Structure 1
């Protein structure tokens, strides 16, 4: 009797749910099944009854919103695209950069010293970005969702997915461009005067290298996950570089030059500004 009473109460609660609440519960329950392994195109293993049970909603309310599993998958695909696109950005890069630059104030005063720091940032951050990408369920899901566009049948659902992916990609590139522009300002490097693409194109090219290697990793990890001797950074000895970092180094060398008007005395203040913006721990003064 008590169980029947509890079931009646639960059904009454479900009856008071709005359509948006039901949608949210269903989307959250469905996406939770992909959170650790990434989405596969079309969610082939997704069972509606399992999602409904996990969402804690009634079957009748679900099928009032979606007439079929395919209709639900169509909306879920767009929701997945939005969710995973927002998860692509990784804020560790700026924290890592702050730590590296703050740790070597002896290199701040000269252009050669600051170039060594830039090389170390590229070597470390691009390696981080690559391994974060290949290990990320969000990126795997983003890739799978993007693959859906290859089967574009002109449907409204795929059009919405394409637009969602574009917005997510734009946000990611914007964040990456801001990071590299901040590093240039911090260490006294600027884009060449004859380069009209700005830091946005610079970021697009850099992210293409990381993502391209991540895709190649799926078929040939022996090449993409290997390390190669590259130029020295903080010491005079050659050091190991990941392919993603070597590829990005080529972009850096092609497009950035020393800013002749840079004042290295600004490094300490800007480091503190960046640390405050990211919530990072305080940094030592550049002249410590």
Structure 2
């Protein structure tokens, strides 16, 4: 693959945000336009001239940085991918999870009560997670690019976007695996064989990420699908709940690879210890200064 000179804004050069203030203003303006208007894979709405005007930079400066529209669009798409990250829970989401824990607290002395809590907490968490992604303009663009970037013309732009998507997916898998490893300990579960250790959590993370992408792609043109529910008992729970298909698929996948930790002695001290750790982590998240608002 041929590399263009760095001064030409090569799509293959690992330019990072903060290196070039003028380029950053252009890319910020382009991404703002994408988030406000959406984007098709043809990129017809990301006109370089319009972005130059919105960024308040001179045409000469912009075209020195990007001699061609192809180079500019490559950097826009790569920057879009790089700025996409896992979306943390909102304050409302965390409060909802605490309500689930409190609702099940009295029954945690029995195995069935603990199963009911795990199933319901995962069901609620999955629903909130899917809704955050579907409501995020940047994530909608990311998922669309992941599904359709090969429709871009062959060449450096498509190669650069493909590489950025692969790097982002690897980062998401690693981040999600760490979240799962922490969560499993908090709820008194462990990986079920044959999965084990860090590799097991990465495998589970990769599988749920792939399923999540499929769920989001289906929900984007039909968001009402998330509200189509059937009241039933699933996955070993004794309580009925109103399950959506995404919840059933994703929670079923997670619980098919998790099991109660047989080494835990479920006495009052163990239960209170787990609840204290869980509530402490939620309280820590709530105290952080930049919690996102609920998706509109």
Instruction: State whether TM-score is above 0.5.
Output: yes
| CA separation of 1:53 and 1:223: change in aligned 2, threshold 3 A | closer
CA distance in 1, matches of 2:74, 2:263: 54
Deviates more, 1:68-77 or 1:264-273: 264-273
In 2, the alpha carbon distance for the partners of 1:152 and 1:52 equals: 23
Q: Tell whether the 8 Å contact from 1:42 to 1:73 is kept in structure 2 after alignment.
A: no
Structure number with bigger Rg: 1
For residue 242 of structure 1, what is the aligned residue in structure 2? Answer: 244
Which runs of structure 1 show a deviation greater than 6 angstroms over 4 or more consecutive aligned residues? none
| Cα displacement string for residues 52-103 of structure 1 (whole angstroms, at most 9, x for unaligned residues) | 11111111111122223232112211111212x22x4333466654443245
1:90 corresponding residue in structure 2: 88
1:250 is displaced (CA, Å) by 2.1
Secondary structure at the aligned position of 1:279 is classed as: helix
Which residue number corresponds to residue 52 of structure 1?
52
Per-residue displacement from partner, 1:230-282 (whole Å, max 9, x unpaired)?
Answer: 3179x95522111111112322342111112223242133124413542359x
Q: How does 1:134-149 map to 2 (within 5 A)?
A: 134-147=134-147, 149=149
Which residue of the partner structure matches residue 160 of structure 1?
160
C-alpha displacement at 1:19, in angstroms? 8.5
Q: 1:256 is matched with which residue?
A: 258
Aligned CA RMSD, in angstroms, stands at: 3.0
TM-score normalised by structure 1 residue count: 0.78
The number of equivalent residue pairs is: 261
Gaps of 5+ in 1: 1-17, 282-288
Q: Distance in 1 between matches of 2:101 and 2:225?
A: 30
Contact 2:29 2:54 in 1 (8 A): yes
2:281 to 243, 268, 274: 274
Which 5+ residue runs of structure 2 have no aligned equivalent? 1-17, 265-269, 289-296
Q: Deviations over 1:134-153 (max 9, x none)?
A: 22212211023224542476
After superposition, the Cα gap between the structure-2 partners of 1:102 and 1:22, relative to the gap in structure 1 and judged at 3 Å, is same
